[in-house]
A and B are shown apart, each in its own frame.
Chain A
């Protein structure tokens, strides 16, 4: 392992790779600073540039965008109260009031440095936990892999926004789109409707760019006045980041920083969540744990630290799942997964052992990107803000043109630009009718892998019960069920059944440990004990006496 780390170190510390990470981080910060221009869009637009690069170069560039995007989102959030990305929503709660009270430099400094420290904690956890997690992954057969993908697909539930039904439809439509063309096992062509170009299926890139970027750009120029306005109109000339004061402020509350970073990493590692959730959750936890919760929202650095440390920590968490298990932790890593597939690199349980140089190179690039980010943020804040002053219609036209040329470069066929056009139209119409697009993209990215593993499992043993008798497969299916119900529990917190959700989930997770037999059964006992303990605590918190608790637990004898 040490040898691989050293080799990766020398690989990353070459001029070309450092330059690519710098360019990627710069692009990410600019994209993150532009409201409505999400990190996902920035990553999608980076894809075409990575075709001519080696996998490690391409991924390093994208990691730069990823890290830069998370930290860039705080710029417009802090200065204008408009979050640059959904991952920086909670940053605006305190960052904006702090800036308005006359401390924009401190607000930006605290945000930037919290991003840096949160990201470093995420990077350290990534390097520590991804390899052992991947060793567990070596036990995976097609049943486990398919169950894992089912778990990953449950991200659709949390990405569905207001309408779970429409999110579900979009997700299944995405999976169906991945079915167009030849299937991976028998090479039988499907759903091509006599169009030769469709025999190979849709390329992921034009579909992604069409659905996400194309439709978003056209939404931005719907109104003439909005199209001719600049993205940001704030005065940027007088802003100077107060670095030392910001660092001292952060170090005065190490618990807040570490807790928020860990929340970010944990949420990022779950396939059902991402930066959008982690920053709000972390802000909420920081407020609950604070001695002065009433000050949150009035412009205190604590809230900025919680949000920014969490959203950069999320990046590390999402990479842990992608690198170790080959499943995306969020939509951005889903696109990175697509990028690796384009380079014929298939991340999965054997990825770190089979491609150690690439894997550790990616770890190292993620680590380095944080140092590059802090350097760029320190030097170039004023320049970044000037780019956001370009009118939207100029940006939209240029980016649309770039999208078209980018997807053409993929296979050198104009058909891919038509696909981009078609999916741009579809994405725009779907958005207008209230369909979330992220679930569809998850479906497109995971569809082929899901089918391949399901078919492999069927060819090995056609009995579907195997999915439930193999412990790891059962474990992921239970997690998938929990993950599906989780958004409902968050929406109906007051419902009586919600207090049973966590204890029942913990007891359910113990099931695979029991069927493993031997020492893992101790793990099952721990989960059952934890479930019962949580249940008892909740009932006690509601004021029930021990007798009532016991009666409730054994069904009151009725």
Chain B
């Protein structure tokens, strides 16, 4: 029997509540006359725990009903098929991750240009003409925002060790 997503999420949330309850015990005792820093989070956890339990039970009841129902179980998808469905999103997250990781070493200009170009090159059509267009758009956006933030809004942007 495959577990429904609600059952799994309910379980994860219950574990989260447990960890957070333990964390609230680490918070120092309240000062005289104050409710203390742990009071409101505890109230919230007291609310979240039954909600999480309800989600877990809701999912579990669904699982049991699905097991009893005479329907054909949906085919199990391979990892490859799952990856194909979410490839654009996974690569976009990965590119954004790399952009943030490189922001301080190589600076706003270079990391920004590389991120924008890589995103467009990956998600958009691939031809030499399009690649030139993507490069021009990336450079234009990076420069435009730099001028906007640096000169119009007077906000400093990250300077890298290698490039501005």
Contact = CB atoms under 8 A, between A and B. Distances in A.
Contacts of B106: none
A200 to B, nearest CB: 14
B10 to A, nearest CB: 9
Contacts of B47: 172
Contacts of B31: 186
Most chain-B CB neighbours within 10 Å: which of A49, A172, A396, A428? Answer: A172
30 contacts: A49-B153, A165-B55, A165-B58, A169-B48, A176-B44, A179-B40, A185-B37, A186-B30, A186-B34, A188-B27, A188-B36, A188-B37, A190-B37, A221-B92, A228-B124, A393-B124, A396-B92, A398-B116, A400-B96, A401-B99, A404-B96, A404-B100, A409-B149, A414-B103, A414-B104, A433-B5, A433-B6, A450-B40, A454-B39, A459-B33
Interface residues of B, number: 61
Interface string A511-540: 000000000000000000000000000000
A172 B44 contact: yes
Contacts of A52: 153-155
A414 B96 CA distance: 13
B145 A191 contact: no
Nearest to A410: B155
A455 B41 CA distance: 12
A394 interface: yes
Given A168-B51, A421-B96, A405 B141 contact: no
A169 B13 contact: yes
B157 A405 contact: yes
B38 A218 contact: no
Interface in A93-131: none
Nearest to B103: A414
A188 B5 CA distance: 36
Contacts of A179: 40-41, 44
Closest 7 CB pairs of A and B: A393-B123, A397-B119, A188-B37, A183-B37, A458-B35, A52-B153, A451-B40
A172 B48 contact: yes
A444 interface: no
B133 to A, nearest CB: 9
B158 A408 contact: yes
Nearest to B112: A401
B45 interface: yes
Interface of B: 5-6, 9, 13, 20, 23-24, 27-28, 30-31, 33-41, 44-45, 47-48, 51-52, 54-55, 58, 85-86, 88-89, 92-93, 96-97, 99-100, 103-104, 108, 112, 115-116, 119-120, 123-125, 137, 141-142, 145, 149, 153-158
Tell me the dominant secondary structure on chain B's binding face: helix
A187 B37 CA distance: 8
B158 A414 contact: yes
A173 B13 CA distance: 10
A51 B156 CA distance: 12
Contact of A176 (B33, B48, B92): B48
Contacts of A451: 40
A307 B104 CA distance: 49
B100 A176 contact: no
Given A183-B37, A188-B28, A405-B112, 4 more contacts: A52-B155, A224-B88, A394-B120, A414-B104
Given A172-B47, A397-B120, A51 B153 contact: yes
Given A222-B88, A223-B88, A421-B97, A393 B51 contact: no
Contacts of B154: 52
Contacts of B123: 221, 224, 227-228, 393, 396-397
Contact of B41 (A169, A176, A425): A176
Contacts of B88: 218, 221-224, 227
A169 B51 contact: yes
A397 B113 CA distance: 11
B75 to A, nearest CB: 20
A417 interface: yes
B161 to A, nearest CB: 13
A550 interface: no
A424 B6 CA distance: 21
